[in-house]
């Protein structure tokens, strides 16, 4: 039985390990949040035991949803299509987009008509991007992670900025309900819940959080828009808990102990080696122990085969 293997590398920055860094199984598309999240996400995936999963960073600082939804061959739908085709074994297309479109209209944030038009446009562009991804690769999962409450932008009321962002959040969640293969998840209030709001004497995890009238804690952001590198790392851990843990488990080929992409009797020898050295490949039944019962589990996993 032939297993799904890593394919060619598209343009972008690939985060991988040794021979595994031949392509990507996770491709992160979008804006500066996508760009700055890709590295921490890759590290979290490694830390969680998936060192063979490569992450391709296609995040572009300042990118807008309308640019990705355009016919621009350098960033738009043709480019996205080329990246997906160049990585035929990619399982997940991770999307972070829409924030810059809203920032471009920030001066009109108190004009409900303009805001509504802008939000509709972002949702429409997002739908075009997602549907094109799924048309090109019907087998891929599109995961769209939302933003968090930002820092005060210029002279604007944080409560109004948060209100608009939550409006976009609800519209994208409604869109996801209509498109199989597309998952949207918002993370608004994540920094408040994780770190509290010290200026108000509110500790992490307080039941009053998140507070829509408050920005994220100032020390969690490096500027008005972006987390610090340390917080992006914690955010990546949260993404793993909420989505990637289950998503990657569904594509894992645990019986392929030697990691060569084939299920053959050589994997039995590899399991013996893992058993003798208590290596991770030994644990075939998921109990986090290396015992003789894992031999029976390996036989079962071998007979079940692996995802195609």
Q: Residues of CATH 3.40.50.1110 domain(s) within the chain?
A: 13-249
Which of 290, 117, 131, 148 lies closest to 224 in space, CA to CA?
148
Q: What is the largest CA-CA distance in the chain?
A: 68
- The confidence score (pLDDT) of residue 154 equals 65
CA 283 and chain centroid, separation: 27
- The confidence score (pLDDT) of residue 10 equals 34
Q: What is the pLDDT of residues 11-48, one digit of tens each?
A: 344 544 333 333 579 999 999 999 999 999 999 999 99
CA 119 and chain centroid, separation: 22
Contact 87, 55 (CB under 8 A): no
- The confidence score (pLDDT) of residue 23 equals 53
Query: What tokens appear for 172 in the block?
Result: 């994208």
Contact 130, 80 (CB under 8 A): no
d(CA 92, CA 183): 11
Low-confidence ranges of the chain (pLDDT < 70): 1-23, 154, 250-252, 307-308
Fold of 13-249: Rossmann fold (3.40.50)
Strand partners, 144: 95, 184
By residue count, the chain amounts to 308
Query: What tokens appear for 11 in the block?
Result: 């343009």
């Amino acid at each position: 039985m032939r297993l799904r293997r890593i394919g060619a590398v598209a343009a972008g920055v690939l985060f991988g390990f040794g021979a595994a860094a031949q392509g990507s199984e996770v491709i992160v598309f979008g804006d500066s949040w996508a760009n700055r999240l890709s590295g921490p996400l890759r590290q979290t995936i490694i830390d969680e035991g998936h060192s063979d999963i490569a992450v391709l960073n296609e995040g572009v600082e300042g990118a807008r949803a309308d640019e990705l939804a355009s016919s621009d061959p350098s960033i738009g739908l043709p480019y996205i299509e080329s990246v997906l085709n160049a990585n035929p074994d990619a399982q997940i297309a991770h999307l972070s987009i829409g924030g810059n479109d809203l920032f471009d209209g920030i001066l009109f944030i108190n004009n409900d008509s303009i805001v509504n038009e802008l939000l509709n446009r972002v949702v429409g562009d997002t739908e075009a991007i997602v549907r094109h991804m799924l048309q090109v690769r019907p087998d891929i999962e599109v995961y769209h992670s939302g933003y968090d409450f930002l820092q005060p932008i210029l002279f604007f009321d944080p409560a109004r900025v948060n209100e608009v962002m939550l409006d976009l959040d609800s519209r994208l969640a409604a869109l996801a309900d209509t498109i199989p293969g597309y998952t949207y998840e918002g993370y608004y209030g994540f920094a408040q819940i994780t770190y509290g709001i010290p200026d108000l004497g509110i500790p992490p995890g307080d039941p009053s959080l998140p507070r829509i009238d408050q920005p994220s804690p100032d020390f969690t952001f490096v500027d008005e828009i972006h987390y610090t590198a340390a917080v992006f790392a914690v955010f990546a851990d949260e993404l793993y808990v909420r989505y990637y843990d289950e998503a990657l488990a569904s594509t894992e080929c645990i019986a392929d102990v030697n990691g060569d992409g084939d299920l053959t009797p050589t994997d039995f020898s590899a399991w013996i080696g893992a058993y003798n050295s208590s290596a991770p490949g030994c644990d075939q039944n998921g109990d986090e122990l290396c015992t003789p019962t894992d031999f029976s589990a390996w036989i079962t996993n071998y007979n079940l085969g692996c995802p195609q």
